Amino acid sequence: MTALPLAVHHVRAPALLDLRSEFPAVPPDWAYLDAAATAQKPRAVIEAITRAYAEDYATVHRGVYQRSARMTEAYEAAREAAARFIGARADEVVFVRGATEGINLVAQAWGQDNIGPGDRILLSVLEHHSNIVPWRLLADRTGAAIDVAPLTDDGRIDETALIAALRPETKLVAIAHVSNVLGAIADVARIAAAARAVGARLLVDGCQAAPRLALDVASLGCDFYVFSGHKLYGPTGIGVLWARAGILEAMPPWQGGGGMIEEVRFDRVTFTSVPARFEAGTPHIVGAIGLHAAIDWVRSVGIEAIEAHEAALTEIARAELEAAGARVFGPPRSAGILSFAVGEVHPHDVATILDEAGVAIRAGHHCAQPLMRHLGVPATARASVCAHTTEADIARLVEGVKRVRRIFG
C-alpha cells in the first residue's frame, strides 16, 4: 500500500488513544474505517477465545465434571459482565446471536401477546432494517399499524414530532440509540419518559451505542435494550438482549429445546426461569467468553476515553471531508460515524478507489433503505472510527477522497 501524506487538520484533537498495536489484524498502512459494520478484535479477545477452545472447552449447565463446572462459571460470569456494562442485573440479560435476534425475540415473545388489531408501533425514519422488518412482520400478523417519526433537518430523530405521535394505542416505540448511517444520538431518556406516559414500551437498538457511549439502562428508562458483541470488539454470533425483569418473566419462550425446560412430557412441558427460558439449545459458549473479554478490554481503556477519542476524530474527519469537497450527511455531532457523497460519484466507486489507497469504508444503503430515500440518494459512502483509529487514518481517507475527485473530474 502506498503511503499518503498527512492532511492539514482544521481541528486539533485532545490527547488521542494509541491502541493500534493491540489489534493484530490492523497493519499500520491500512485504514480500517468500517467499525460500524464490525469491529476488529484486540489481542486480549483473540487470546481469550483461543484459550477457551484450546485449553478450557467443555459444555455448560450439563456436565458434573470439573471442567464443565468451570466453563459454566465462565459463561455465567460473562452474563454478569454484560449486565454490569449496561447497569443491569444478570438475570435480566439474555444471550442471543446478536441485536437482530434480540429484536426478533421481543417481537415474537412479547409482541405476539401485547400487540393486536388497532394497536400502533412507532419507529423512526433512520432505523436499521433489523429494527423495522420484525415489527412489519408483527404488524402484518396482528393487524397493528406502524407510525414513523420524521427526522430533523440535520438528520436526528425529531423527538418533538415522535412524542407528538404517541397516543394511547401506541404499545411500542423502537428506536436506534445511535444511527448506523448518520451517527445521530437519540435522547433515549426523553423518549422513554414520553412513551411511559402513554403506557408504551420502549425498545432501543444499542448496536452503535454500546462501543461508543457509557450505558445505564436504569437512567435511560427503556424497557428493552439490544446490542451485538462483534461491534463491541468481541466475536460474532453473540449479543445481548436486556429487558426489565417483570417484562421478561411474563414473556413466553420463543424457541423450544434443551436447557430452557424444567420438565418435558408428551402431554405438557414446563419451562425454567429467566433468562435460561430464552436460551434454548447449547449456547455460544466461547462467544460469551469472548464478549466478556471484549467488555473487560473496553473497561480497561475506558468508555469515556473511547467516546472522546472518536468524537475528536469524527470532528476532524467531517471538517476535512467537507474541505475536500465531500457532502457529509447527518448532524454536526455524530458518534463516530460519517456518511458522505463525493459529487455524483457512486459510493461503490468511491469505496473501490479508497480501497486501492488502503482505506476500508462501507458503501451502500447500510440496511437503511427508508433513510436513503429520505436523503434522496441510492446509497452513501460511510466511514466509521473506533478505538484504534488514528489521525493518519483520517488523513488517508481525505487524500483518497481527493483522488476520487481528480479521477472523476
State how far the Cα of 233 lies from the Cα of 226, in Å rounded to an integer: 16
State how far the Cα of 211 lies from the Cα of 231, in Å rounded to an integer: 7
- Torsions phi, psi of 407, nearest 5? -65, -40
How far, in Å, are 105, 138, 191, 243, 247 from residue 110 at the CA level?
A: 8, 11, 20, 11, 8
Amino acid at 296: D
Angle in degrees, 0-180, between the axes of helices 66-85 and 285-301, rounded to the nearest 10: 40
Annotation says 367 is catalytic: yes
State how far the Cα of 220 lies from the Cα of 91, in Å rounded to an integer: 19
The answer to whether residues 375 and 365 touch, using CB atoms and an 8 Å cutoff, is no
Please tell me which residue in 207, 222, 367, 386 is annotated as part of the active site. 367
Residue 182's nearest CA partner among 366, 341, 339 is: 339
C-alpha cell at 306: 473511547
Amino acid at 136: R
Dihedral sign for Cα 47, 28, 342, 351, please.
Answer: negative
Please name the residues in contact with 40: beta carbons below 8 A apart, sequence gap of 6 or more: 23, 25, 26, 32, 233, 386, 388
The answer to whether residues 123 and 132 touch, using CB atoms and an 8 Å cutoff, is yes
C-alpha cell at 73: 462459571
Given the C-alpha cell 459510493, which residue does it identify?
Answer: 347
Catalytic site positions: 367
